[in-house]
Chain A
Amino acid sequence: MTDASINTASAPQEAEFGDYFALLKPRVMTLVVFTALVGLLAAPVAVHPFVGFCAILFIAVGGGASGALNMWWDADIDAVMQRTARRPIPAGKVSPEEALAIGIALSGFSVVLLGLATNWVAGGLLAFTIFFYVVIYTMWLKRWTPQNIVIGGAAGAFPPMIGWAAATGGISVESVLMFCLTFMWTPPHFWALALFMRSDYDKAEVPMLTVTHGRPATRAHILVYTLLLAGLALAIAFTGAGGPVYLLVAVVLNALFVKGAFAIWRRDEVMAEADNYAAERKFFKLSLLYLFLHFGALLAEAGMDRFGIELTIGGLL
């Protein structure tokens, strides 16, 4: 064969390395890495830095593997939605079979290596997280119930628990609270996205709350879940994981978040379309900062505990 015989028009598109990396949902991975790192560092047991690095890496790879399996199963939905149409499978760069193989291989590698590097509680939790995200959320809940985001959000909430377990070998109140914070944060975060990415979920026939119960009901749900989240986030300040720095951050962010949720609740579609969903977009962006700063504050509290720095607010904390 000569180079002249290569017909570029009919040759199947070959994937670049970056296309395989894109299967791992790197943007979601950043959240997984950060929350798992906080769980690991906030734990009262010191971990060797190299083991800690490997633990976070394996948790990230496990999260990425579940992303690849999600893309394999949801390729039909992804092709319809504007937000996901450029993912490697619908774009024709990676075949579904390749995505499945990569997902399964990386899942196995990440679980076994995390178990060997740290302990089998962490390995088991990672395996359960992958199972929950792929089977419970992707294969079952996502296309079946409008509560898909609520229950499926648990999968994204596990990483801090895995990080904590990697350090301590177990589960504790603090790690469960970190799980609860991410778990309660997920629904308002995704429903705000669903409000301004309206046509996407309609076209894909995914039973998002916006499609099944209407947009006013979704706005009400965002408000209710935000209020519940605010209660939980503030309560954490008074547990062993919290403290004055966390309380300060939580008060400011939850005030802003509740204000944003009220603004969304008071609007109707006419108002939202008039400014191209400005309030919903702003709330979505704030939600990213919200989670990042809450976990950052938990990390700061753990660091202050470790170095014996004490701050108090009026004898409360």
Chain B
Amino acid sequence: MSFHPEHEMHTRRKGRNIGVGLVLGALIVIIFGLTYVKVTSQGFQAPAAQEAQG
């Protein structure tokens, strides 16, 4: 038997923390994805690739 059984309040708090964490993670993925799409759709090439072509 545990001396510190998880209170129902802790379960709710944990759920909330996980939810906020996932939202923040999703925000990072979205901003990264948008940056990638914006940069690549404007004909951007990495300097190494430009040199190889030139």
Q: Real complex partners, A and B?
A: yes
From the candidates A3, A8, A14, A54, name the one contacting B30 in the complex (CB within 8 A).
A54
A11: chain B residues at CB < 8 Å are: 9
Q: Is the interface of B mostly helix, strand, loop or mixed?
A: helix
| Number of A residues with CB within 8 Å of any CB on chain B | 18
Q: Does B34 contact A (CB under 8 A)?
A: yes
Q: How far apart are B14's CB and chain A's nearest CB, in angstroms?
A: 10
Q: Does A28 contact B (CB under 8 A)?
A: no
A17 to B41, Cβ gap below 8 A?
A: no
Q: With contacts A3-B5, A6-B9 known, is A17 near B34, CB below 8 A?
A: no
Could you give, for residues 35-71 of chain A, a 1 whenever the CB lies within 8 Å of some chain B CB and a 0 otherwise? 0000000000000101100100100000000000000
Q: Does A80 contact B (CB under 8 A)?
A: no
B20 to A17, Cβ gap below 8 A?
A: yes
B33 to A17, Cβ gap below 8 A?
A: no
B15 to A51, Cβ gap below 8 A?
A: no
Q: Shortest 5 CB-CB distances between A and B: which pairs?
A: A17-B19, A17-B16, A16-B12, A50-B37, A14-B12
Closest to B20 in A: A17
Within 8 A of A (CB), among B1-54: 4-5, 7-9, 12-13, 15-16, 18-20, 30-31, 33-34, 37-38, 41
Binding site for A on B (CB under 8 A): 4-5, 7-9, 12-13, 15-16, 18-20, 30-31, 33-34, 37-38, 41
Give me 7 other A-B pairs in contact (C-beta within 8 A), A6-B9, A17-B18, A21-B19 excluded: A8-B7, A8-B9, A14-B9, A14-B12, A14-B16, A16-B15, A50-B34
A14 to B13, Cβ gap below 8 A?
A: yes
B41: chain A residues at CB < 8 Å are: 48
Q: Does A117 contact B (CB under 8 A)?
A: yes
Q: How far apart are A120's CB and chain B's nearest CB, in angstroms?
A: 15
Compute how far the CA of A2 lies from the CA of B15 in the bound complex, rounded to whole angstroms.
22
B15: chain A residues at CB < 8 Å are: 16-17
A57 to B12, Cβ gap below 8 A?
A: no
A3 to B7, Cβ gap below 8 A?
A: yes
Compute how far the CA of A113 lies from the CA of B33 in the bound complex, rounded to whole angstroms.
13
Compute how far the CA of A54 lies from the CA of B15 in the bound complex, rounded to whole angstroms.
25
Compute how far the CA of A14 lies from the CA of B10 in the bound complex, rounded to whole angstroms.
9
